[in-house]
Structure formats: structure tokens, C-alpha cells
Amino acid sequence: MERIVLGSGCFWGAQEILRKIPGVIKTEVGYAGGTLENATYNEVKTGRTGHAESVELTYDPQKVSLGQILDVFFRMHDPTTEDRQGNDVGSQYRSVIFYFSEDQKKAVLEKIKEIEQKGFWKKPIVTEVVPFSNYYRAEEFHQDYLIKHPNGYSCHYLRDF
């Protein structure tokens, strides 16, 4: 099994889409990349902790490639907007990929180059690509939110490329 952590705005809708990818074994929402220890929603929502609302994926690379996961990631949000997705504004909603290995970093950078070359997005991709750091599991209320609240808020949807 492998892991990757993806930030693409509010983590509720992102988790709902990512969990449905065949080969994804587990998803969990949390706060990644910031400086505050044991970050909580009330702290992260201020935008001052440096954390991004994120989804940690555990996946089986024999069933789904990182490239396939990234295809979904880059279709489910607008990676050309800095610190914003839908109604959500602030650095905690930035587009970011937290990688665990140099191989993952290389795959991510290649995917970004591929997508930009194909012209799927009219503006440059601003997704941050950074080493995994400082992740804290979000409160239980946020886990599987759209399963618990099927009509809950989401700014995520799959775009056709």
C-alpha cells in the first residue's frame, strides 16, 4: 500500500470523490503542512496555521496508479486558483500535493507538465508540490461528512477533459 495527501479546497467533497476511485483503500480528512502542533478546525479555519484541508489516501498501486489518482485530483478542483475553491477562500483551501517519496514527487511534476501541455486549464497550474509534513487527523465530525450529510456542501465535481 502507498499513501499520498491531497489538498484541493474543502476536504468534504474531495474525500467523497477520492474514496470512489477503484484501488483506493482508505481516505481520511485532516490538516497538513502547517506549523501548529495538534491543529484543530477552529485554528486551521483562520488561515493562520499554514495547514491545508487535505485528504490522506491509502491506495493499492497494483490496482490504481498515482497517475490515475492525480487525473481525478486535477479534474475535481480548479488547480489554477490560488488559495480558493468555490466559496472557500484562504490558504487552508489551497491546491497542494504532499508527497512521501522522490518517486511520487517526480510522478506529480510529470502529471502537472502533461496536463499543462494538453491545455486542459487555460491558466497555469498553481498546485504546490511539497514533502509530507505535520498532518493531523480532522475531528470525527468531518470524517465521511457527505456520507453522514448527503446534501452537504461541496465545491468538488469531476470536469471532462
Strands 24-32 and 136-137: antiparallel
26 to 60, 66, 93, 135: CA distances (angstroms):
10, 15, 22, 16
Q: Tally Cβ neighbours within 10 Å of residue 106.
A: 12
pLDDT of residue 161: 80
Residue count of the chain, please give it: 161
Half-sphere exposure of 100 (CA within 13 A, CB side): 11
| Residues classed as catalytic | 10
Q: Quote the DSSP letter at residue 92.
A: G
| Digit-coded pLDDT (tens) for 119-154 | 999 999 999 999 999 999 999 999 999 999 999 999
Task: Take residue 57 and report the three cell numbers written for it.
Answer: 489516501
Its pTM surpasses 0.75: yes
The series of mean pLDDT values per 10 residues for the chain, 161 residues long, is: 97 98 98 96 96 98 98 97 94 98 98 95 96 96 97 94 80
Task: Take residue 100 and report the three cell numbers written for it.
Answer: 512521501
**DSSP reduced 3-state for 28:** strand
Half-sphere exposure of 44 (CA within 13 A, CB side): 27
- Using alpha carbons, select from 103, 122, 100, 90 the residue that is nearest to residue 3: 100
